[in-house]
Amino acid sequence: MSIDAIETQDTNRSPFGLIARGSIGGAVVGYAAKHMLPLSESEMDSEFKGAMAIIREQSNKAKASAIETIRNIKDKSLAQDTFIKMVDAQKAAGANANVINMKTAFNMRKIIKDANLKQGDMIELKGIIASVNERAVDMFKRCAKGFKSAVKDKRVTPAYVAGGAVLGFFVGLGQSVFRASSRNA
């Protein structure tokens, strides 16, 4: 019993299937690369930086709004009152809301010490600080991510798809050549 017919049929297979699969796979990878590659320097132009500044400004406004919400509470807890005193001390020192220098840090420490916070109040104070900062940071991250996605959407899709397809074509061609040469060896 001879198995020549099976071997002949297998060796005469067209390499077109491998090349086509490689090209299609490369095109898909190229499309994914359009969205996954980081922004280039040319994409982060003055328009991009201006938009990031606006987003940062709006997130700082959200942080100020959260502080004002706490400030407007009539019957504040000890932790809320201490938090407002810390914010006022930071403003009085002329410090930026996001940057605390050594003098401001020691003032904060003194305010906390003078408030005689109990363990539960200290935990509440840390929670207030974290939630106010988290509100601004979360807003900035979500808006910045959305704007970066919009910039990536403006990229030319056919260039990425064609580049991926060409790369996939050569990978498929190389596979078929190596497969054919391994059969003949």
Q: Which residues of the chain have a pLDDT value below 70?
A: 1-13, 93-107, 180, 182-185
> How far, in Å, CA of 81 to CA of 135, rounded?
20
Domain limits of the chain?
16-36+155-185, 44-154
> How far, in Å, CA of 19 to CA of 177, rounded?
10
The pLDDT score that the predictor gives to residue 124 is 86
Burial of residue 168 (number of CB atoms within 10 Å: 0-12, 13-18, 19+): buried
The pLDDT score that the predictor gives to residue 133 is 86
Answer yes or no: are the C-beta atoms of 17 and 179 closer than 8 Å: no
The pLDDT score that the predictor gives to residue 172 is 87
Position 18: which residue type? L
Position 84: which residue type? I
Answer yes or no: are the C-beta atoms of 89 and 107 closer than 8 Å: yes
The pLDDT score that the predictor gives to residue 106 is 61
The pLDDT score that the predictor gives to residue 145 is 93
3-state helix, strand, coil split of the chain in percent (to 5) is: 80, 0, 20
